[in-house]
Amino acid sequence: MASVPRLPRPVIDSPPDAVSLDVLIVGGGVCGTALLFELARYTDLGHIALVERYDQLARVNSRATNNSQTIHCGDIETNYTLEKALAVKRTAEMIVRYAELLEPAQRRRCVFQTPKMVLAVGEAECALLRERFERFSPHFPAMELLEKEQIAAWEPAVALVDGQLRPEELVAIGICNTATAVDYEELAASFVQQAQEVVTASRGPGGGARRLDLHMGTSVAQITPEGERFRVSLAPTPGQQQGVNADGTPVAPRAILARHVVVNAGAHSLLMAQRMGFGQQYSCLPVAGSFYFTPDLLRGKVYTVQNDKLPFAAIHGDPDVRAAGKTRFGPTALLLPLLERYRPASFWEFLQVLRLDWAVLGVFWQLLRVADIRNYILKNLLFEVPWLRRRLFLADARKIVPGMRLEDLRFAEGYGGVRPQLIDKANRRLMLGEASIPALPGLVFNVTPSPGGTCCLGNAARDLAAIVERLGCAFDRQRLARELYGEDSAGSALADGGIAQAVAAEAEPAA
Ligand SMILES: Cc1cc2nc3c(=O)[nH]c(=O)nc-3n(C[C@H](O)[C@H](O)[C@H](O)COP(=O)(O)OP(=O)(O)OC[C@H]3O[C@@H](n4cnc5c(N)ncnc54)[C@H](O)[C@@H]3O)c2cc1C
């Protein structure tokens, strides 16, 4: 859990009740905090701030219980093309390199090493996976092709039933021991801690002290362009604790005048953009994911081959990084009319971003007329019905662990988030990746379904490049390239292409 340190009282300059600063980040999930870290460490910006609606960091999709805790490298995700896998791998490795900057104890809380594999069951899937291994393994040297006996050695519960090899044809692509899992909530806390340490220890332009404000329990109510800057109105979030001064007045000002604003508020980024008249070409289809627990059945991550007719990721099983001795299976894919899981009031916000029209209905029709998708949507609805859900989910989970028993399976109450999948209304298609809505020079809204956690540092590098270009601040490009991309000289791809280009290829990874 993130500890929120006491921060100095802000200096109120012009105009009254508004604090002027360089960059404001909206949203304290893993994406907003990754940008905070990069701005603090690699630029000399004098004053940066982050505003978060809840009184703790990473309470929504980045919360440890709400996502699958996977670093998606493209090696076991069969819905990625080779090109996409290579782009995602580059971004995913940034997390591993970042973790190397941390003290061992903190690193061990953020990133976890386990074996991982993608499992093919039956003749058709096995043929597909063998062919994929031929194409991918030259680019992923750690990949191994595992036959049934080797799968049994790596993951006995996957290949054996009552001590005997299961009868179906099996093959897997495995990676023996690598960084596979992340606690995105801990990662977000570490980004903020690292940012605070570096801001305290370094000097801004002209040698002055640098400042980082963290306004927790504070909601952004409105963003209004004001000359070259943006006035961001703030309000205490009802029911959440805000930092207060000695006289009881809130530490957060009523407004911030920022030279640059990056909104990393998940599905709410779209809502805020549309309230300002931007991003009108998008609608949102929230896809909730639930999970199930079993006792300790798996040693590492076991993904399954994706049905390419389905736009939703297939279920997998893996050890939960926080719940010792438990294996988590999922996520399911439930269409849910909420922008935030377990917050019923977000239904009204969903209605605002749905923007139902013929284009949106057309996309729904395209989805529903495919029998595989229709059946999958219906099955996922039933996965939420008490009594029935465990029985139905068991049938799917047995593809991974054939000997799983009903009594092993428990619905993970309170787990799971909502992936805000965007609908591109102009092209009448469901978008599987992330979207960045560049509203105005100096104002961007990022919407991050899966694998937004994996891409947090890569997306931050893209936003950082735009901030550096616009605000003209000092930027230690080589240090970033060395520390996060593993480039060791100025002759790197980053030096001649720029960070924005380096991450452009990663713009639309599959869910
Ligand atoms: C079921 C599921 C499984 C997933 N599995 C994976 C995975 O294995 N690997 C992976 O890489 N990704 C995964 N993802 C995706 C990943 O969780 C998200 O992409 C990532 O957490 C997004 O981070 P974020 O910071 O953009 O958003 P969030 O973590 O949702 O943070 C947004 C923040 O903005 C704040 N906010 C919203 N509105 C306001 C406002 N008005 N004012 C102030 N603050 C505001 C919210 O309170 C919140 O803290 C999964 C997602 C789901 C739902």
| Run of H or E residues at 386 | none
Residue 475 covered by a domain:
yes
Residue 115 covered by a domain:
no
Q: Of 50, 69, 60, 25, whose CA–CA distance to 420 is shortest?
A: 60
Residue nearest to atom 9 of ligand 1 (CA): 70
Residue nearest to atom 25 of ligand 1 (CA): 29
Q: Which two tokens stand for residue 139?
A: 């680019």
Secondary structure (H, E, C), 413-425: CCCCCEEEEEEEC
| pLDDT in the model for residue 181 | 97
| pLDDT in the model for residue 308 | 83
| pLDDT in the model for residue 341 | 95
| pLDDT in the model for residue 493 | 44
| pLDDT in the model for residue 508 | 35
Q: Are residues 220 and 247 in the same domain?
A: yes
User: Separation of 489 CA from ligand 1 center, angstroms?
Assistant: 34
**Cβ atoms of residues 355 and 283 within 8 Å:** yes
Residue nearest to atom 31 of ligand 1 (CA): 29
- CA–CA separation, 348 vs 343, rounded Å? 11
Instruction: Look up tokens 């801990």; give the residue.
Output: 186
User: Separation of 346 CA from ligand 1 center, angstroms?
Assistant: 15
Q: What is the pLDDT along the chain (511 residues), one digit of tens a residue?
A: 444 444 444 444 444 579 999 999 999 999 999 999 999 999 999 999 999 999 999 999 999 999 999 999 999 999 899 999 999 999 999 999 999 999 999 999 999 999 999 999 999 999 999 999 999 999 999 999 999 999 999 999 999 999 999 999 999 999 998 999 999 999 999 999 999 999 999 999 889 999 999 999 999 999 999 999 999 999 999 999 988 777 777 788 999 999 999 999 999 999 999 999 999 999 999 999 999 999 999 999 999 999 888 888 889 999 999 999 999 999 999 999 999 999 999 999 999 999 999 999 999 999 999 999 999 999 999 988 989 999 999 999 999 999 999 999 999 999 999 999 999 999 999 998 889 999 999 999 999 998 999 999 999 999 999 999 999 999 999 999 999 999 986 444 444 333 333 333 333 333 3
Residues contacting 474, CB < 8 A, separation 6+: 43, 44, 205
| pLDDT in the model for residue 99 | 98
Closest ligand 1 atom, CA of 454? 11
Among 373, 405, 424, identify where a domain stops: 424
Q: Are residues 309 and 390 in the same domain?
A: yes
Residue 114 covered by a domain:
no
CB atoms within 10 A of CB 148: 17
| pLDDT in the model for residue 8 | 45
User: Separation of 28 CA from ligand 1 center, angstroms?
Assistant: 9
| Run of H or E residues at 499 | helix 499-504
Residue 111 covered by a domain:
no
Which residues are registered as beta bridge partners of 174?
117, 144
The answer, yes or no, to whether the previous bond of 295 is cis (omega within 30 of 0) is no
Q: Are strands 111-121 and 301-304 parallel, antiparallel or unpaired?
A: parallel
Q: Are residues 295 and 321 in the same domain?
A: yes
Distances (CA, A) of 268 to 259, 338, 453: 21, 11, 16
Among 373, 392, 424, identify where a domain stops: 424
| pLDDT in the model for residue 310 | 85
Q: Which two tokens stand for residue 467?
A: 């901030």
User: Separation of 185 CA from ligand 1 center, angstroms?
Assistant: 10
Q: Are residues 256 and 230 in the same domain?
A: yes
**What DSSP line would sit under 422-484, residue for residue?**
EEETTTTEE--S-EEEEEETTEEEEE--TTTTTTHHHHHHHHHHHHHHHH---B-HHHHHHHH
Q: Are residues 382 and 304 in the same domain?
A: yes
Q: Which domain holds residue 359?
A: 285-424
Q: Are residues 323 and 369 in the same domain?
A: yes
| pLDDT in the model for residue 245 | 77
| pLDDT in the model for residue 9 | 42
| pLDDT in the model for residue 243 | 82
Number of structural domains found in the chain? 2
- Ligand 1 pocket (Cβ < 6 Å) reads 26-32, 51-54, 58-62, 66-70, 72, 184, 219-220, 264-266, 268, 289, 331, 416-419, 448-454
Residue nearest to atom 30 of ligand 1 (CA): 61
Residue 178 covered by a domain:
no
- CA–CA separation, 188 vs 182, rounded Å? 11
